[in-house]
Chain A
């Protein structure tokens, strides 16, 4: 009886903690959604309301024009296209190039392996801010347009990470597969892309997701390289410096609507691939 009571109390405590945690994690989103359905007049109400209410009648009412404004805002629409182009290209390039490196680092024997492993690990921590000035000068001197610039420079953080995580996955594949394929007369490269690569498909999905999220959210390079090219701006830069169509106060309703719209793809990915993302995140930081 006593232990049963104790167990029940523990259960209740656990659920209290779970609810508190969920509220903490989700409340800012709730607030953003709430604000995105408010007109300027509703946003200006003091005290603010926890659901959109009409300022005069105080009845609950939803204002959907912010979403209409966002989806007719040329800059925002172009931002979606730019973000999709940049994030997809970065992901595909990093996976292709990173899987080459991962295979060599994880499965092949060659001189200088320890050194190359250390270089890749060190590069996963390379601070982008340290080379910002150098990259900016290089891009301007070579006259590279902003979108290709972003695609190339984002590999600074996606490529070492991809190579590092894939190395760990390749290493865990049984060496016998590799050897027996070679005995059967397959060249090492054929072994790589006919046999090993399909086996690492789950790892490719994981690292691809993380590269995509990283590239979709990147702000420092995007902001710097598009400072004089508004047409090339990606979603984070647009959300942070929201282009108001009319001169008025900061259009918080539209910013919240735009923010929700640009977060939806990521939230969908998180719910579908929760397990894979967690595995990839911790593999990148914890395992050697």
Chain B
């Protein structure tokens, strides 16, 4: 349809576009796509970094070791007469050791956790309990942090959206936890969580009469995840608040004036006006934050080290500490696949604007 000159111009424009896009795509090809394929490939080998042993193709063996799980019923321990042994103090039934029921061939299963269901005791076994635990912990961490950040982020967003003197200053202050390096904030919090009264939290709890002043926040498994969640909520709530604030600012003010006339109180206005209008923003923020939380690394590696892993820190230690290129590649692939599900959801909800047809 275009005349000769026009199409010549269009061709020049197209050529320029490709030239301008080339550097970006070449770099991304080199540092993302190529390494991703090499990770996929390596995950099917037994490659060990800087090892003299030849690398062999092992099929799905790495994935099998990473992901194999089984659930077995634990029989109660029986005395000579064949009756279950009951703890005389607590009255609890005693069970056989988990190792006795878990398969040992071809790879040995080790217990991850035990649970009761319909009056029987079961054990969950896995060939790599650390990885299964890392996946579980990362999911718990992601769900808890994203939920808390949404609630607190909403409160913060409503505050900094209100009219008051020094609002700009307040917005800068809430940016600080987000802006400073996670390495720094992890160390700051680790020091506040010291397992004795040199730490802030133990001192305050002790003043309040809670605990003995020696709560091991970072070494007691029951406290580890709550501590991680608390630190991440502090660090990331500002980001969530800013996303929600951007959504709040798009809501026209006259809606609220109409609601005022109708006599709706602020709480009803929030639940019946603000929240429904923010649905889109909230959905995007949730997916975006979940993606971020599932790949948490800095916080876990710095504060907990090898005491407890996230999926990412597990992969890091397999690579750097154990030099298991093949094995850590397999865990990278698992993380990648899990995150892709969320990324696709995110892109679907966001959509791309393009003038091309």
The answer, yes or no, to whether B14 is at the interface (CB within 8 Å) is yes
Contact with B along A6-27 (1 / 0, CB 8 A): 0000000011011001101110
Given contacts A125-B343, A137-B38, A240-B302, contact A22 B170 (CB under 8 A): yes
B203 and A28 contact, CB distance less than 8 A: no
B16 and A104 contact, CB distance less than 8 A: yes
A105 and B21 contact, CB distance less than 8 A: yes
Q: Which residues of A contact B185 (CB under 8 A)?
A: 28
A100 and B23 contact, CB distance less than 8 A: yes
A236 and B182 contact, CB distance less than 8 A: yes
B: number of interface residues (CB 8 Å)? 104
The answer, yes or no, to whether B119 is at the interface (CB within 8 Å) is no
**Min C-beta distance of B195 to chain A, whole Å:** 12
Contact with A along B10-26 (1 / 0, CB 8 A): 10111011101101110
A: number of interface residues (CB 8 Å)? 101
Q: Which residues of B contact A275 (CB under 8 A)?
A: 168
Q: Which among B27, B281, B285, B329 has the highest number of chain A CB atoms within 10 Å?
A: B27
Q: Which residues of B contact A152 (CB under 8 A)?
A: 27, 30-31
Q: How far is the CA of A217 from the CA of B171 in the complex (A)?
A: 21
Secondary structure at the B interface, as helix, strand, loop or mixed, is helix
**Min C-beta distance of B238 to chain A, whole Å:** 7
A130 and B316 contact, CB distance less than 8 A: no
The answer, yes or no, to whether B177 is at the interface (CB within 8 Å) is yes
A47 and B203 contact, CB distance less than 8 A: yes
Contact with B along A100-137 (1 / 0, CB 8 A): 11011100111101101111111101111111111111
The answer, yes or no, to whether B145 is at the interface (CB within 8 Å) is no
B191 and A252 contact, CB distance less than 8 A: yes
Given contacts A31-B188, A255-B187, contact A163 B24 (CB under 8 A): yes
The answer, yes or no, to whether A35 is at the interface (CB within 8 Å) is yes
Secondary structure at the A interface, as helix, strand, loop or mixed, is helix
Q: How far is the CA of A117 from the CA of B354 in the complex (A)?
A: 8
A236 and B184 contact, CB distance less than 8 A: yes
B312 and A113 contact, CB distance less than 8 A: no
**Which of B183, B298, B325, B343 has a CB less than 8 Å from the CB of A137?**
B325
The answer, yes or no, to whether B246 is at the interface (CB within 8 Å) is yes
**Min C-beta distance of A288 to chain B, whole Å:** 5
B24 and A256 contact, CB distance less than 8 A: no
B239 and A281 contact, CB distance less than 8 A: yes
Contact with B along A130-164 (1 / 0, CB 8 A): 11111111101000000000001101100110010
Q: Which residues of A contact B174 (CB under 8 A)?
A: 21, 25
Given contacts A104-B17, A131-B31, contact A237 B183 (CB under 8 A): yes
**Segment of B72-80, B91-99, B345-353 in the binding face:** B345-353
B155 and A288 contact, CB distance less than 8 A: no
- Give the residues from 68 to 108 in chain B that come closer than 8 angstroms, CB to CB, to chain A: none
**Which of A47, A103, A130, A153 has a CB less than 8 Å from the CB of B206?**
A47
Q: Chain B: residues with CB nearer than 8 A to chain A?
A: 9-10, 12-14, 16-18, 20-21, 23-25, 27-28, 30-32, 34-39, 42, 49, 155-156, 159, 162, 164, 168, 170-177, 179-189, 191-192, 196-200, 203, 206-207, 213, 234, 238-239, 242-243, 245-247, 281, 284-285, 288, 291, 295, 297-298, 301-302, 311-312, 315-316, 319-320, 325, 328-329, 332-333, 335-336, 339, 343, 346-347, 350-356
Q: Chain A: residues with CB nearer than 8 A to chain B?
A: 14-15, 17-18, 21-22, 24-26, 28-29, 31-32, 35, 43-48, 97-98, 100-101, 103-105, 108-111, 113-114, 116-123, 125-138, 140, 152-153, 155-156, 159-160, 163, 171, 182, 188-189, 192, 213, 216-217, 219-220, 223-224, 227, 235-237, 239-240, 252, 255-256, 259, 262-263, 266-267, 269-271, 274-275, 277-278, 281-282, 285-286, 288
